[in-house]
Amino acid sequence: MKDVVVMGIGLHPFGRFPDKTFEELAYPAINSALDDSGMPFKDLQIAFCGVVNSSLYDSRNVVQQFGWSGIMIHSLSQASGSSAAAFRLAYWTIATGLHDTALVVGYEKMERGFIPGTIMPGKSHLDVMGLDPIPARVALEMRKRMKDYDEPIEAHAAYAVQCSENAALNHYAHYQIRRTREEVLNSRIIADPLRLYMCCPTSDGAAAAILCSAEKARQYGDKRAVKVAAWACGSPQVEDLFGGPGAFIGGDFKGGNLTRRLAKEIYERAGIGPEDVNMAIVHDPFTMAAMVDIESLGFCPEGEGGRFILAGNTRRDGKIPLNTDGGLLCKGHPMGPTGVSQVCEVVKQLRGEAGERQIPRRPRVGLTHSSGAGMLNMLILKK
Amino acid sequence: MEGPNYRSLESTVFRLKNEKDGVLIGSLCSKCHRVFFPQRVWCASCFEPTCEETELSREGKLISFSLIERASGYALVKPPYILGEVLLPEGPHVYTTIGMRSEPSPAGIDLRSAINEKNLSSLKMGQPVRLSPIVGKEDAVGREVVAYNFDPVEGLP
């Protein structure tokens, strides 16, 4: 397998842009990534787009804005993890030697409110009887954790406040406002005990990354290149198929089994342990998810996720800085670009280019963890 | 059994025995004996088409619950209502409403929960619950549509 590096990254702000087309959202993300990488568009050999609510032609339109170079352009959908899957496929393409360079871009336009989780709306027990809202499924797991682990609701507030503080310093974030503990705890109940500010929004936005073989990267100047050290991916196994109706809601909310399994794999591939990870950007559409994630990634013992966060260990100056861009929670969650936007943040931090959000002890090893419809894609990046 | 005047909301999931009562349908793997809900043909553990239909228990344990304040677009239930997770003795967890009632209304029938913010404390994790179907709105050809629901065994508050 060849060494692969991330040469350039770019973003379009996450927020609400009802009048923008996919091309307009993706343009600054791809253009910035090209500038950042020093690579001309003509040198890109393949493209992978991550988008869920796609029409027939948008992936071609988005990429061909820059030229009709004849390369293969893919459109991939993996719910919240679409561009994480796209990134991994781009990585595999270069690592296996089929190509030397690749573009990864994610983009999305979303409606407000709940994401439909059913194939035949209005006909199944699942949606007619109101069993489908994803936040409600999360609330079930949250209540279990509060009972089994005595996890305080304050931990959820602490995590939401921490994310808001990071997002307030991120001019690409959807919500750039610092929230207080009181605001979070008093926000509208969605599904008891889950409240509004413990949930991510739906958002529009775009993000891009340019990958290159380490060998070819030298010709563009590779001082700022970040290495893809390891990957892992998979879907849940039968121990997570515990009932229904309705698909496994994803995000590994039940207990982190998939994350645990893939974490073992990725640490082995990278030749490291969780203690060697300096920062992580994890899947956090709900505050509870971050707690499950950090336990399953081995950053703290099982059942201690909430308390670990409450004690400040995941702040930028903490033991394991988490979601320094504001996370899905406050940075926003356009499904298409979220995965690659995690890579963008790790790359900035590892390069020392995160500005006001820079982790004071400059990280060398970053981890990304992106879930989509229950599938999981993870990366370890090193500089 | 479906009748000319009634049907199940989703008969592959909840099979009616008569117009008021029915049973949840799952699958039992003939090889590993694992039980799945809803039904499936291939065993998710054995990776072979070894599953056969099986009727599921009518009583289980309430593992968790949440009071939902806002329903998604296709729901006919009026918030607030309870989403519960029920563990059946043979293994599967069932997502279900808890304490749902059908009430006559100008629109025909309203589906409202007997459990809301005022009496939420009456629900306890781990308490026994029982299958308790409810009748919803009529369908396009005028049949009553019956859906599964669970109620606390000790009765509603």
The DSSP code for A129 is: T
Residue A124 is predicted with a pLDDT of 85
Work out the pLDDT band at A123, boundaries 50, 70, 90.
Answer: confident
CB < 8 Å to A122, chain B? 74
Do the beta carbons of residue B95 and residue A246 sit within 8 Å? yes
DSSP per-residue string spanning A144-185: HHHHHS---HHHHHHHHHHHHHHHHT-TT-S------HHHHH
Whether residue A24 has pLDDT greater than 60: yes
Work out the pLDDT band at A56, boundaries 50, 70, 90.
Answer: confident
Please give the C-alpha separations between residue A172 and each of A29, A205, A233, B127, B157, in angstroms, as whole numbers: 11, 9, 27, 47, 49
Residue A178 is predicted with a pLDDT of 98
- pLDDT tens-digit map of A264-322: 999 999 999 999 999 999 999 999 999 999 999 999 999 999 999 999 999 999 999 99
Q: Determine, for residues B77 and A144 on separate chains, whether the beta-carbon distance falls below 8 Å.
A: no
Cβ-count burial B95-133 (b if 16+ within 10 Å, e if not): bbbbbbbbeeeeeebbbbbbbbeeeeeebebeeebebbb
Q: Determine, for residues B147 and A125 on separate chains, whether the beta-carbon distance falls below 8 Å.
A: yes
Residue A251 is predicted with a pLDDT of 53
Please give the C-alpha separations between residue B63 and each of A126, A269, A313, in angstroms, as whole numbers: 19, 38, 31
Whether residue A253 has pLDDT greater than 80: no
Name the nearest CA neighbour of B34 among A234, A241, A148, A213: A241
CB nearest A130 (choices: B36, B77, B94): B77
Q: How far is B9 from chain A (nearest CA, A)?
A: 6
DSSP per-residue string spanning chain B: ---SSEEESSTTTEEESSSS-EEEEEEEETTT--EESS--SS-TTT-SS-EEEEEPPSEEEEEEEEEESS--TT--EESSEEEEEEE-TTS-EEEEEESEEEEEETTEEEEEES--GGGGGG--TT-EEEE--EEEEE-TTS-EEEE--EEETT---
Q: Determine, for residues B147 and A128 on separate chains, whether the beta-carbon distance falls below 8 Å.
A: yes
Q: Is the dihedral of CA A222, A317, A139, A264 positive or negative?
A: positive
Its pTM stands at 0.95
Whether residue A250 has pLDDT greater than 60: no
CB < 8 Å to A191, chain B? 66-69, 83
Q: Determine, for residues A113 and B72 on separate chains, whether the beta-carbon distance falls below 8 Å.
A: yes
Tokens (6 digits) for A241: 């198929």
Whether residue B100 has pLDDT greater than 90: yes
Q: Determine, for residues A144 and B79 on separate chains, whether the beta-carbon distance falls below 8 Å.
A: no
Q: Determine, for residues A130 and B75 on separate chains, whether the beta-carbon distance falls below 8 Å.
A: yes
Indicate the range of A43-52, A273-282, B98-107 predicted with least confidence. Answer: B98-107
Q: Is A16 on the interface with B (CB under 8 A)?
A: no
Q: Which residue of A has its CA nearest to B75?
A: A128
CB < 8 Å to A193, chain B? 66
Residue A142 is predicted with a pLDDT of 95
In DSSP terms, which residues pair with A233 in a beta bridge? A377
Q: Determine, for residues A133 and B38 on separate chains, whether the beta-carbon distance falls below 8 Å.
A: no
Mean per-residue pLDDT over chain A, rounded: 94
Cis amide linkage into residue A133, ω under 30° from 0: no
Give the C-alpha separation, B31 to B83, whole Å: 33
Question: Going by DSSP bridges, is the β-strand pair B6-8/B134-138 parallel, antiparallel, or unpaired?
Answer: unpaired
Whether residue B3 has pLDDT greater than 90: no
**Which residues of chain B approach chain A closer than 8 Å at the C-beta?**
9-10, 13-14, 34, 36-38, 44-45, 63-77, 79, 81, 83-85, 92-97, 100, 111, 120, 125, 136, 147-149
Q: Is the dihedral of CA A206, A209, A210, A213 positive or negative?
A: negative
- pLDDT tens-digit map of A318-351: 999 999 999 999 999 999 999 999 999 999 999 9
Whether residue A120 has pLDDT greater than 70: no
Candidates B61, B65, B70: best to mutate against A (most CBs of A within 10 A) is B70
Give the C-alpha separation, A381 to A9, whole Å: 14
Give the C-alpha separation, B33 to B37, whole Å: 13
Tokens (6 digits) for A181: 């503990």
CB proximity under 8 Å: A 72-131 to B: 113-114, 116, 118, 121-131
Q: Is the dihedral of CA A207, A15, A77, A136 positive or negative?
A: positive
Question: Going by DSSP bridges, is the β-strand pair B77-78/B108-113 parallel, antiparallel, or unpaired?
Answer: parallel
Q: Determine, for residues B148 and A139 on separate chains, whether the beta-carbon distance falls below 8 Å.
A: no
- pLDDT tens-digit map of A130-179: 998 888 889 999 999 999 999 999 999 999 999 999 999 999 999 999 99
CB nearest A129 (choices: B70, B75, B93): B75
Residue A111 is predicted with a pLDDT of 82
Residue A146 is predicted with a pLDDT of 96
Please give the C-alpha separations between residue A1 and each of A98, A223, A311, B92, B137, in angstroms, as whole numbers: 11, 22, 41, 43, 60
Whether residue A381 has pLDDT greater than 80: yes
Q: Determine, for residues A137 and B83 on separate chains, whether the beta-carbon distance falls below 8 Å.
A: yes
Q: Determine, for residues B67 and A191 on separate chains, whether the beta-carbon distance falls below 8 Å.
A: yes
Candidates A129, A239, A241: best to mutate against B (most CBs of B within 10 A) is A129
Whether residue A374 has pLDDT greater than 90: no
Whether residue B4 has pLDDT greater than 90: no
CB < 8 Å to A137, chain B? 83, 95
Instruction: Provide the Cα torsion A144, B32, B58, B103; round to 10°.
Output: 70
Work out the pLDDT band at A118, boundaries 50, 70, 90.
Answer: low
